[in-house]
Chain A
Amino acid sequence: MTDIVAATALTRRFDPHLSIGDRIAAAFGARVETRAVHAVTDVSFTIRSNETLGLVGESGCGKSTLGRLVAGILGPTSGSIAIDGAPVMRRGRKTTTRIQTVFQDPFASLNPRRRIDATISEGPIAHGLVTRAAAPAFVADWLARVGLDPAVATRFPHQFSGGQRQRVAIARALAMKPDILVCDEPVASLDVSIQAQVLNLFLDLRAALGLTCLFISHDLSVVRHVSDRVAIMYLGRIVEIGPAALVYAAPRHPYTQGLLDSVPKLRLDADAVGFRPIAGELPSPLSPPSGCAFHPRCPRATDLCRRERPELAAHGATDVACHYA
């Protein structure tokens, strides 16, 4: 298998939007937030052709920002993202349709005043993938492939349930014939029974179309289910990345271990331990801790951890950023 996606030292900061008044006040020492949010810092990875890389971490750790960087929706502060060696962005603009996105909230990502058929066909028509004349058949075909009745083509987003809207969002992304799909929490707002239906659809289409995917979720069991490899993020950096089976069975980073232990398990007998929490709170991305960003919560932390940031280094098939991995 060859690498198709390559992220190299991706970094994205968000500077606060300061009004003139704020700037003057800050210059005179008033308490105005002038620090930048370090949403994603120095992230490098590759995704192989036909592979799904899962991305997990708690809210605010930078998953969505990384997903938008990879999809070319957001420009990096530094670093680059390439598909088959060709940059996804040039001069702040996306250069390719080979990568498409499905977001968590299909309500927000579908235009409420546009009919479903227009939503699905407008991108493909604009990029010459289908003629206007052939569009109705094209739309009907995609609706059928995502498990919707082609007769719903003339409806508007509010006439669909959450699960159906997510099917429409999947059809819209795949109608662009992408090779790569970035899914950002695609099942997070769905009930379990609907989540299972949408995950099955995703698995079927991924296999049928030979898609390469970046699959983002805060739900560890969903990520385990769909991913070949997984990356764990903490405060804007990848702290562990490797084959999903290995990372889940034998996590090496103390944060990965803590995260896996935190998730309540289905407890079939009363003696089983349901979960074990990680101590402490997530630090602010405005001022990440010194050294290893996980050190204030880490049961193994030493002076070295407080002083020096561990680099991501290979340990067998996984890469881990921990002094004691």
Chain B
Amino acid sequence: MTLLDVTDLRTHFFTRAGVARAVDGVSFSLAPGEILGLVGESGSGKSVTGFSLIGLVDPPGRIAGGSIRFDGQELVGMAPDRLRALRGRRIAMVFQDPQATLNPVLTIGTQMALALQAHGRVTDRAAADRATAMLTRVGIPEAATRLNNYPHEFSGGMRQRVAIAMALLNGPDLIVADEPTTALDVSIQAQILAEMKALARDSGTALIWISHDLATVSSLADRVLVMYAGRIVESGPVGAVLRAPLHPYTRGLLDSLPAMAQPGQRLAQIPGSAPSLLALPQGCPFAPRCAHADAACTAPPPRVERADRHALCHHPLAP
């Protein structure tokens, strides 16, 4: 059974300088309750992928092609009001900056009540009870009294918890979380990761966790997608991908981590930097930085399938 089926998704930005293919032929699927990690360096298209899923791509960007099927319904081209009804009830999003979802002039209690009442008839009393239960669930102490607080009266970590509680409020089937712990300290990040993991398990909510940090994704997700220049260059179960990556970029990312080297020794480094989307090389976009690149790599790389994994590469690393 699949909850989400994304096929050949293309989200492009039509700028004066040219067309930036921020998401360029992305395909993946997600089962109910599954946690999927989406990793890549900045500019690789992770956030645009997330925004595309919830129908929030702003001009000059638009979905230029492909399909997003959520629980059997096609989201690409769906009427805005139907999409809005879906968003917040069955699909929710958590951002790096919780201010993006929280209204600074309303108390948390009011916002949570509005979010509940937008999708069904709920009395104020019942709304307050559900909000309190959800805030408690995400680790906010004395939740009942905190309903009267405004967002700025919470610390950064607590504010992110409130945003997560808002996302969970209507019992969504899917949460898209875009770097929700990146701005937080490690000890607070660990608390939120532990809670998200438990919440996803307990409630059966599927989770797409977007992060630039391989370690975070590896400790949370079941499967991982590695993104580079708008494409998913590798996918598979987290453990298998990290133990033996198929794509040279995944290998390079792993090897550049200090944790993978002897202290004080030079790190294995990927030369160069990520290409501009407006001037991508012919063929494999990673070729100019890849130690394995040869003449073949000037042609678009084939999709290599291995059991429950895939990579886009002319010379995949594992046999």
Contact = CB atoms under 8 A, between A and B. Distances in A.
A221 B158 CA distance: 26
Interface residues of A, number: 45
B263 A265 contact: no
A3 to B, nearest CB: 21
A140 interface: no
B185 A218 contact: yes
Nearest to B192: A277
Interface stretch (B16-24, B72-80, B252-260): B252-260
Interface string A166-201: 000000000000000000000000011111110110
B67 to A, nearest CB: 31
**Size class of the contact patch on chain B:** 35 or more
Q: Which of B213, B243, B263 has the most CB of A within 10 A?
A: B263
B264 A281 contact: no
A224 interface: yes
Interface in A54-82: 58-59
Interface in B148-201: 155, 157-158, 185-191, 193-194
Contacts of B155: 281
A199 B267 contact: yes
Contacts of B158: 281
Contact of B264 (A163, A226, A261, A279): A226
B214 A266 contact: yes
B236 to A, nearest CB: 13
B188 A203 contact: no
Interface string B226-255: 000000000000110011000000001110
Contacts of B238: 267, 270
A266 B41 contact: no
Given A200-B266, A224-B263, A281-B155, A194 B190 contact: no
Interface string A125-166: 000000000000000000000000000000000000101000
Nearest to A260: B186
Contacts of B256: 192-193, 195-196
Contacts of A270: 238-239
Nearest to B183: A59
Contacts of A269: 239, 243
Contacts of B216: 264
A105 to B, nearest CB: 15
A200 B220 CA distance: 30
A304 interface: no
A274 interface: yes
A212 to B, nearest CB: 15
Interface in A218-265: 218, 220-222, 224-227, 244-245, 258-259, 261-265
A208 to B, nearest CB: 13
Nearest to B155: A281
A161 B41 CA distance: 14
Contact of B273 (A161, A199, A278): A161
B268 A275 contact: no
Nearest to B266: A200
B42 interface: yes
B210 to A, nearest CB: 15
A108 interface: no
B215 interface: yes
A276 interface: yes
B264 A267 contact: no
B190 A276 contact: yes
A282 interface: yes
Interface of B: 41-42, 155, 157-158, 185-191, 193-194, 212-216, 218-220, 238-239, 242-243, 252-254, 256-261, 263-264, 266-270, 273-274
19 contacts: A191-B41, A193-B256, A193-B269, A193-B270, A203-B266, A221-B257, A224-B258, A259-B186, A261-B190, A262-B190, A265-B218, A266-B214, A267-B242, A274-B219, A275-B193, A275-B194, A278-B190, A279-B191, A281-B157
Interface of A: 58-59, 161, 163, 191-197, 199-200, 203-204, 218, 220-222, 224-227, 244-245, 258-259, 261-270, 274-279, 281-282
